[in-house]
Structure 1
Amino acid sequence: MSAEAAELEQRILLRTATSRDATVAGAVLSRAEFAPCACADMAALVHELQRGAGAILLAEEVMDRASMAKLAGALAAQEPWSDLPVIVLARQGADSHAVSVAMDEVSNVTVIERPMRVAALVSAVRTALRARRRQYEMRALLAGLRDADQRKTEFLATLAHELRNPLAPLSTALSLLARKRPAPEEAAKYYELMGRQVDHMVRLVNDLMEVSRITRGKIELHLGPVLLDAVIDDAIELSRPAIERAGHALEVDVSGEPLVVRGDAVRLTQVFSNLLNNAAKYTPAGGRVKLAAWQQQRQAVVQVSDTGAGLAPEMLNAIFEMFVQVSGTAKEAQGGLGIGLTLVKSLVELHGGSVEAASEGVGRGATFTVRLPLSKNGAAPAPQRSQDSWAAVIERVVLVVDDNRDAADSLAELLRTLGATVLVAYSGEEALQLARGQGVEIAVLDIGMPGMDGCELARRLRASPGGAAIRLVALTGWGQQGYRERIAAAGFDHHLLKPLNLAEFMRLLSR
């Protein structure tokens, strides 16, 4: 709201019996640092009311039936949050008909009998304005709720759209595999396609879970000295496919001296890959994306800029709010949930840093600048690349339990290809019967099963003969802290989220 509009909303609209009364009342109110506005007639007062007012001050003498009908109509047309205070200066003596009518037709009326003390008038006006300010606060709250509800509605529609996008090629690829029954060489391209789309859906769900954990203060950082150069290399590697698909030129300018910060390398990689992905998505094909990093005093500064859609001035701060997307850029962005920059801001601030957006305007590109405090403890250890154990063999007896038969059967088949002897059950009771005397070494259990859930099943397996030696793995779609604590209390050794990350699963088994 502009300063002029805010001033209009604090005015006291005066309708007195004479112009002299208006002058005297205006002087009294001005000395008390109010903003009086004298109105020649009721039509003028109604006009000013539509521009903005904090309260109305009426003399009984001007409250004829026609005038009060105009005022009542104007007050009835206000927004639901508004209940404008009306102060009536009544003549001394018996109650008048005009005042009674006013109290019947106008809801928020205060009557002061003349002659009155100046302090009484000032006190009544001050009370009226205080109540009016609370109404303005309610207006702002309602506007915020409306905006949040609108964003939520748009987000749900966007989420449905974004989930349908990968589902379409998945469904098509499955139909082609079923109808054509291609040779393994030809089928490989369909499997790759399906893998890419599944990865995309997993990223969407993971982003949602990350935002949920951050907003509830449940995210956990694994802090240590981190070489920012290595983090940037990892982020570029993650984002390179998106940049190359769009035909963008990528320019990297990283300071020659090592930039070491105290942070979580995985989370910082997420920050910069999100910024690079955004730059790639919001830049028309054949554009330019630049990442620069340097030291500025005791801070590491990382800047990601592009030649893309740009930002209007009013969006420079709003762009970091939950579910906010720049209107008119959906085509350029090829979708998105509007939570990537919220993640960026939250993660950077958790590291004690800051992030800001800059743009010369719509269509003129954007620049995002991240500032992180440099570590005081010198250089970070050399980064170590983890190796996936895809080639490992599981020569063990594995129990798979899930009430979703497709999920259980497909996981069992996958484990068999790795050399495991697999037992499959679709309920807790069935699993207990199947496991007796089978020498189960590893049990992969779904948690949210009807009847006996995975936690209860885990406790019973632990209590069975030889159960202490079973390695229990919870495989579930629930990742919130409360579920993690419940799963740990049930005796599980590991907690993995669906869909199963095979490399992570193999690493757990190899420990």
Structure 2
Amino acid sequence: YVTYLNAIHPDDRHIIHETIREVLSPGSTGHYEIQYRAIGVADSQERWLEEKGRVLLDDAGRPARFLGTILEITERRLAEDALKKAKQDAEDANRAKDQFLAMLSHELRTPLTPVLMTIASLQRNHDIPDNARRDLEVLRRNVELEALLIDDLLDLTRIAHGKLELRNDAIDVHASLNYALGVSASDLNEKQIKVQLDLAAKEHHCWADAARLQQVFWNIIKNAVKFTPARGQLRISTRNDAEHYIVIDFTDTGIGINRELQPRIFDAFEQGGSGVTNRYGGLGLGLAISKRVIDLHAGKISVQSEGRGTGATFTIKLKAMETSLLEGPAYPLDHDGSAEDSAEILLVEDHEDTARALRRMLENAGYQVGYASTLASARDLAAKRRFRLVISDLGLPDGSGLDLMGELGDSGQLRGIALSGFGADSDVAAAKAAGFAEHFTKPVDWERLRHTIHRLLDRRG
């Protein structure tokens, strides 16, 4: 036994002692299976061994000896360790990639907010001539397109990890289609593509994530623009089928899709062959993301084309809501300029351009704004004034907006809106857990922010 024990690696001898103690204890089956390292007597090499055995008892029921087998499993253990390391390395690489993409998204999104806010402020100036107003509209749409492109890159990663989630509400599909057309208007006009709308569905509301649904519509319209020659046509129609689904058809007069490619058209990076990719550019992510989004809505998306030169029809089916379930929009489309307009709002934002643009828009809307760029100065302001609402960036130089909301929201009187360049579901959940009523991912749309502010300040809300 001493020779046997001395051959075992010093760090693994406790395995032997513990096993002997366990198999000799009352109630034990006497069987054991263990793995440990041993040191070769001749070559002093470390080897992995697997030992299986049992205790043999004498006639009196006392332990007499051990009977078992010992197998060398060094290669198997090395292979298992290599596999574990490779898996850990892959997980570490995925985490690093996710963190990089999240940070990249934050850095790309943050400068877009002051641009959109400045455009919105200028558009509210009635003295601006029509041609300048049209130019501002082009700027606004293209900034929004930039934000959507950032979303596409991040969504691909979320889809791969099964982390793409929805924030559903009652959505007017017709309104979403019109919005997507508005975002794409400059591209449609540039190629002189004629758009025909036939929104015939009587049941045109569904339970969906508004931003995701608009993203799908925009992706399909963008594809139609890309693959349709100048002065072509795009027809968008809706109808209800017998199963109370809303059916949306996008029919273009573009280059069409070969039949053999249609089953792969919703795969990532697939655009219909390398020739198409080289000629028309793009990453080929839009349709793959669109299919996943529609799948998450328990809907269907399909394509039909007779082949090259015949155009294509993309069809989306979503379960329609019963009209009786609708309670109106999530926020009022307008309000009567009530006393809530003069409420005091604490704005906490360390990005100077974003803070300046947001503060100007809030003050122009009639709100009293207290501004802080750090967590410490926000605390000081909150101690001196009675704010009704806090709008705070989450990443501050000396702390987090999450901590600020946790402190200020204890009374239950202060509502909060979080601003962040990070828009993953975990980021939204963290903001809600800290006490924020809403989370806005940059770039911030002023009209949506304005409606949300009014809703949160409305005592009836």
Most deviating of 469-478 and 208-217: 208-217
Cα distance in structure 1, aligned partners of 2:227 and 2:432: 42
| Post-superposition offset of 1:352 | 3.1
Cα distance in structure 1, aligned partners of 2:213 and 2:258: 27
Contact 1:221–1:263, Cα closer than 8 Å, also in 2 = no
Cα distance in structure 1, aligned partners of 2:387 and 2:327: 40
Tell which has more relative contact order, 1 or 2 (C-alpha 8 A, sep 6+): 2
| Post-superposition offset of 1:446 | 0.9
Q: Per the alignment, do residues 189 and 229 of structure 1 end up closer, same or farther by CA in structure 2, a change over 3 Å counting? A: closer
| Post-superposition offset of 1:408 | 1.9
Cα distance in structure 1, aligned partners of 2:327 and 2:185: 23
Aligned to 1:412: 359
Q: Per the alignment, do residues 396 and 246 of structure 1 end up closer, same or farther by CA in structure 2, a change over 3 Å counting? A: same
Q: Per the alignment, do residues 332 and 282 of structure 1 end up closer, same or farther by CA in structure 2, a change over 3 Å counting? A: farther
Contact 1:445–1:473, Cα closer than 8 Å, also in 2 = yes
Give the alignment partner of residue 192 of structure 2, picking from 233, 242, 247: 247
| Post-superposition offset of 1:373 | 5.9
Cα distance in structure 2, aligned partners of 1:307 and 1:479: 36
| Post-superposition offset of 1:283 | 0.4
| Post-superposition offset of 1:349 | 2.2
Q: Per the alignment, do residues 317 and 405 of structure 1 end up closer, same or farther by CA in structure 2, a change over 3 Å counting? A: same
Contact 1:293–1:301, Cα closer than 8 Å, also in 2 = yes
- Superposed, 1:332-371 pairs within 5 Å as 336-371=282-317
Contact 2:234–2:250, Cα closer than 8 Å, also in 1 = yes
Q: CA offsets, 1:431-453, max 9 Å, x none? A: 22233212233221111223311
Aligned to 1:480: 424
Cα distance in structure 2, aligned partners of 1:426 and 1:493: 21
Aligned to 1:310: 256
Q: Per the alignment, do residues 265 and 403 of structure 1 end up closer, same or farther by CA in structure 2, a change over 3 Å counting? A: closer
Segments of structure 2 that go 5 or more residues without pairing to the other structure are 1-89, 91-96, 456-461
Aligned to 1:203: 148
Cα distance in structure 2, aligned partners of 1:232 and 1:261: 12
| Post-superposition offset of 1:422 | 2.2
- Superposed, 1:66-85 pairs within 5 Å as none
Cα distance in structure 2, aligned partners of 1:223 and 1:188: 33
- SS of the equivalent of 2:431 reads helix
Amino acid paired to 2:445: N
Aligned to 1:401: 348
Cα distance in structure 2, aligned partners of 1:213 and 1:406: 30
Aligned to 2:447: 503
Q: Per the alignment, do residues 245 and 332 of structure 1 end up closer, same or farther by CA in structure 2, a change over 3 Å counting? A: farther
Give the alignment partner of residue 494 of structure 1, picking from 438, 451, 461: 438
- SS of the equivalent of 2:369 reads strand
Amino acid paired to 1:342: A
Cα distance in structure 1, aligned partners of 2:139 and 2:247: 38
| Post-superposition offset of 1:406 | 2.2
Q: Per the alignment, do residues 238 and 410 of structure 1 end up closer, same or farther by CA in structure 2, a change over 3 Å counting? A: closer
Aligned to 1:131: none
Give the alignment partner of residue 381 of structure 2, picking from 430, 434, 443: 434
Higher alpha-carbon Rg: 1
Give the alignment partner of residue 229 of structure 2, picking from 284, 302, 322: 284
Q: CA offsets, 1:132-168, max 9 Å, x none? A: xxxxxxxxxxxxx9xxxxxx9xxx9xx99xx8xx99x
Q: Per the alignment, do residues 412 and 260 of structure 1 end up closer, same or farther by CA in structure 2, a change over 3 Å counting? A: closer
Contact 1:441–1:471, Cα closer than 8 Å, also in 2 = yes
Aligned to 1:471: 415
Amino acid paired to 1:493: A
- Superposed, 1:20-35 pairs within 5 Å as none
Cα distance in structure 1, aligned partners of 2:407 and 2:323: 50
- Superposed, 1:173-212 pairs within 5 Å as 185=129, 188=133, 191-208=136-153, 211=156
State the superposition RMSD in angstroms: 4.4
Q: CA offsets, 1:381-429, max 9 Å, x none? A: 5976951569787312222222222222322222222223322222112
Contact 1:253–1:292, Cα closer than 8 Å, also in 2 = yes
Cα distance in structure 2, aligned partners of 1:474 and 1:320: 35
Cα distance in structure 2, aligned partners of 1:265 and 1:472: 22
Aligned to 1:77: none
Q: Per the alignment, do residues 416 and 353 of structure 1 end up closer, same or farther by CA in structure 2, a change over 3 Å counting? A: closer
Q: Per the alignment, do residues 324 and 372 of structure 1 end up closer, same or farther by CA in structure 2, a change over 3 Å counting? A: same
Tell me the TM-score normalised to structure 1 length. 0.54
Amino acid paired to 1:434: L
- SS of the equivalent of 1:324 reads coil
Segments of structure 1 that go 5 or more residues without pairing to the other structure are 1-144, 146-151, 178-182
Q: Count residues with an aligned counterpart.
A: 336
Cα distance in structure 1, aligned partners of 2:347 and 2:172: 41
Most deviating of 306-315 and 188-197: 188-197
Amino acid paired to 1:407: T
Amino acid paired to 2:401: G
Contact 2:204–2:320, Cα closer than 8 Å, also in 1 = yes
